[in-house]
Amino acid sequence: MIKLVFALFVAALMLLSPTFAHSQTVAPTLDEAAVDRVMREYFEAYSHGDMPAVMSFVSVPFMVQGPNGFATFTTAQEALDWYTKYRDAAVKQGYARTEWIDLGVKLLGRSYAIATGTYVRYKADGSELNRSGGTYLLNKVNGVWKIGANIGYPIEHAFKLN
């Protein structure tokens, strides 16, 4: 089932994104490092509640799939509203920051990448709020890696890329 969801997201990104023809060729290890950096900086911005910075890592259309369902956002404002609402709800539960436990990156050609792993959410007092698995599909927009899909799931379903 997870493989089907990934295939659908990748197909949707390819169909919806105008960046496929405009990708830039860069050494794969540099692109993998760039995607890793994007994912870490994205979590850092989200942890600080810097929603404009979070949105700098996101491309639209943007898709999210998680325990609460599936949503597609066609504008940056829709995605920003979702992120703000989602983070506000987490803060009400004591959320303070998110940190990757492990993160793997795999390039899917020159224009697409998958980043996946597990992460822990912490409360303000430093105790653990929860752990989750997450998979993100990224595409290059004007030479910059952007998140096009965010898939969250229970930690027991998390996996590592080879």
Reported as a pLDDT band with limits 50, 70 and 90, residue 68 is confident
Long-range contacts of 51-54 (CB under 8 A, 24+ apart): 51/80, 51/83, 51/84, 51/87, 54/80, 54/83
Q: Which residue carries 């290890």 as its tokens?
A: 29
pTM comes to 0.81
21 pLDDT above the threshold of 70: no
What residue ranges in 16-66 does DSSP mark as E strands? 58-66
CA dihedral (65, 71, 73, 74) positive or negative: positive
Which top CATH class is 2-156?
A: alpha beta
Please give the structure tokens belonging to residue 77. 């404002």
What does the pLDDT look like over 115-124, one tens digit per residue?
Answer: 999 999 999 9
- What is the model's pLDDT at position 16? 43
Query: What is the average pLDDT across 80-88?
Result: 95
What is the band of 30 on the pLDDT scale with cuts at 50, 70, 90?
confident
Tokens 């919806």 found at? 16
Q: What's the mean pLDDT in 18-37? A: 68
